[in-house]
Structure 1
Amino acid sequence: MGAAPRSVAALLEHTDMLLRRGEQAGATVWSTGFPLLDEALGGGLRSGELALLGGPQGNGKTMIGLQLVRNVVCSGRTGIVFSYEHQANTLMERLISLEAAECDSGTAASVLEVRQALEAGSAGRSLEEVLGAMRGGAAAYAQLQSYGDRLHIHESSGSSTTLTELRAVVADVQDRTGQVPFVLVDYLQKVPVESSTEDARITGAVEGIKDLALDLGVPIVAVSAADKSSLGAGRRMRTHDLRGGSALAFEADVVMILSDKIDVVSRDHLVYDLANIQRFREWTVLTLEKNRHGRGDVELEFAKDFEHGRFITEGREVRERLIDERIIVS
């Protein structure tokens, strides 16, 4: 049986009691670590909210999702990554390179260099010694040690990591750390739900994840795959292009779509200034298509640093005209 309704008078009394105790009466807000995104979101992502993160393949969805969690734990909070796509060591390699670049972006070891060093064997050297031999590696190791006990990576399975398992892991981390964790699910369509059709399965997954966010008071960012049939040449991806579109749009509190800038700027920016082509390739546009607690239809852009597994957090609002569908001219 569900909880009994509360009168507005009771809610007012409870809120007054919390304020008199010096406690927080509203939702808890988690900064994303991207200042312009926080501003557009009204401070950041909130407890009990589900944020969807979509975009075409290869646009950095996992990367920015991991970076959001990393930013949260760097602030002293706790985070969980449910990774249906990557092994934990792969994410660790990205974090090492990211931290190295944060300390010394000009010469830091790339993700590829970190991976090659760890795969080559160490001749008996410790991890600290291996990383210490890389550019920025010593500082990266120290930074990872500083927040390592607050960042949890769950190697998830599309056959066994169900909604029940997600809920149990989140509750366990919350009990053990005494903190409400920030949660990344990568990716939503991999969460196993028994159903006769794919649309019904995805609907069940997104509804279950939203219920989890509400019940446990956690913010959840879920990476969402696109419907391949909607991603033809010249198309700009939108919320309705996510697999399970209508249910996802209804349940989500925030929808963010990543696009390569070169793919979504108006054609005249490319025709009349060819130098723009290379410049635009270096930026990703984050479109805030839905936002229940702030501005919607916001277009922000962030410089790519895929070599080090990150975006540059100091972004800017898009100045150029963007398109919904580019007309392809032969």
Structure 2
Amino acid sequence: MSESRITSHRPQRRHSVRHLLDDTDEALRRGARPGAVVWPTGFDLLDSTLNGGLRSGELVLLGGTEGSGKTTLAVQMIRNAVAAGRTAVIFSFEHEAQTVVQRLLGLEAAHAAEASDQPVSTAADVHAFRSVFEAEDPHRAGLGEALGRLAYGRAALSMMDAYAERLHIHSSNSQTTIEEIAGTVAQIAEEAGEPPVVLVDYLQKVPRPGVQEDEITRVTIVTESLKDLAMELQCPVVAITAADRDSLGSGHRMRTKDLRGSSALAYEADVVLILSSKEHIVSREHLVYDLGAVKIYRRWSVITVEKNRHGTGSMELEVQKNFEHGRFYPKVRVVAERLIEERVFTT
């Protein structure tokens, strides 16, 4: 990573313990927080497990099987952080910026319905918002008027307006290097007066143009660089990671070792979360007498906390899907059923 991009944020690397103790004492006397800054994810039990949420200087890896909701969960965490008054940036290699905005509108419409004590199903979904973005408006009255024709559409726009200045989306591509990511984060931190929470979607797509190397080497360097970025700029970095398809064959449950590319993923990360669709990993004993239970389990995803340096590890939490509105329901609970090490069903 280019040193010139980060020296202004941490100009001094060596400190005596005396200096660190004095700084801590001074911060406490000012009423400031001397330790890590924490960004809550907005998912109550997950935050408790992570000892408050996403911490400054940490690299958080979010892996999972296809369709389990990795991007949905990560974007919702980012949304919750900015809705609480923080700053964030999403480096989106997978989705266009407008697609992310449409998901956020669907999410906010669902929140607005809940705030009105109405069923979430009464709110316009992501598809409805996408239709507005993709259709010509014969009235030419603008976005507010167009969204006003959707259920809770205007409320969703108003809720997004409250944090729109603090949430940045970088339309990333094959030329978006780790140096550009670092420079963008540093610029946002300088403008906002605080480091942002960072989402990279996804890690294996961060390129190193002009360098001849295999994927393992590239992923190792990118992972180490993202960890360096988190520490240098004192921000949490959440990186979605892809699975190694060869290791996810019939009868296998995804684990940290199945993340694609490098052992550095497990070594450098402070937190590793694995997201799985519940119907794939619940023990057969819960299904043998009630095959209809599969439909119920299909509504849930399981968050396995595989590594957690500052909190509780080896936790199995579950969140209910609401993908129609681009989100999970915010209430998290501990998985009650026994989960297996291997998958019951294959897809």
Shorter-normalised TM-score: what interval? over 0.9
2:173 pairs, out of 150, 157, 165, with: 157
Query: For 1:199-210, what aligned pairs fall within 5 Å after superposition?
Result: 199-210=216-227
**SS at 1:69 equivalent:** helix
Q: What is the identity, as a one-letter code, of the residue corresponding to 1:319?
A: A
Query: 1:223 matched to which residue of 2?
Result: 240
Aligned: 1:171 with 2:186:
yes
**SS at 1:32 equivalent:** coil
Query: 1:95 matched to which residue of 2?
Result: 104
Aligned: 1:308 with 2:325:
yes
1:52 pairs, out of 45, 49, 61, with: 61
Q: What is the identity, as a one-letter code, of the residue corresponding to 1:135?
A: A
Q: 1:327 deviation in Å?
A: 5.7
Q: 1:16 deviation in Å?
A: 1.1
Q: What is the identity, as a one-letter code, of the residue corresponding to 2:234?
A: G
Contact 2:219 2:262 (C-alpha < 8 Å) held by counterparts:
no
1:255 pairs, out of 272, 277, 283, with: 272
1:170/1:4 CA distance change after superposition, 3 Å: closer
User: Which ranges in structure 1 are unaligned for 5 or more consecutive residues?
Assistant: none
Q: 1:18 deviation in Å?
A: 1.7
Q: 1:272 deviation in Å?
A: 1.8
Distance 2:297 2:198 in 1: 31
1:145 pairs, out of 152, 161, 176, with: 161
1:4/1:209 CA distance change after superposition, 3 Å: closer
Aligned: 1:111 with 2:126:
yes
Q: 1:128 deviation in Å?
A: 0.3
Q: 1:191 deviation in Å?
A: 0.6
1:278/1:9 CA distance change after superposition, 3 Å: same
Contact 1:234 1:263 (C-alpha < 8 Å) held by counterparts:
no
**SS at 1:33 equivalent:** coil
Count of aligned pairs: 328
Q: 1:22 deviation in Å?
A: 2.1
**SS at 2:330 equivalent:** coil
Distance 1:326 1:111 in 2: 31
1:250/1:58 CA distance change after superposition, 3 Å: same
Q: 1:117 deviation in Å?
A: 2.3
**SS at 2:240 equivalent:** strand
Contact 1:284 1:302 (C-alpha < 8 Å) held by counterparts:
yes
Q: 1:136 deviation in Å?
A: 1.0
Q: 1:233 deviation in Å?
A: 2.2
1:70 pairs, out of 79, 82, 86, with: 79
Contact 1:53 1:223 (C-alpha < 8 Å) held by counterparts:
yes
Distance 1:32 1:261 in 2: 21
Query: For 1:247-326, what aligned pairs fall within 5 Å after superposition?
Result: 247-326=264-343
Distance 2:99 2:283 in 1: 36
Contact 2:280 2:344 (C-alpha < 8 Å) held by counterparts:
no
Q: 1:68 deviation in Å?
A: 0.6
Distance 1:74 1:14 in 2: 31
User: Which ranges in structure 2 are unaligned for 5 or more consecutive residues?
Assistant: 4-10, 114-119
2:199 pairs, out of 166, 170, 184, with: 184
**SS at 1:233 equivalent:** coil
Distance 1:243 1:76 in 2: 34
Q: 1:245 deviation in Å?
A: 4.0
Contact 1:267 1:326 (C-alpha < 8 Å) held by counterparts:
no
**SS at 1:312 equivalent:** strand
Distance 1:328 1:101 in 2: 32
With the length of structure 2 as denominator, give the TM-score of the two structures: 0.92
Aligned: 1:135 with 2:139:
no
Query: 2:136 matched to which residue of 1?
Result: 121
Distance 1:31 1:55 in 2: 21
**SS at 1:232 equivalent:** coil
Distance 2:89 2:344 in 1: 42
RMSD, aligned α-carbons: 1.6
**SS at 2:317 equivalent:** strand
Distance 2:173 2:198 in 1: 16
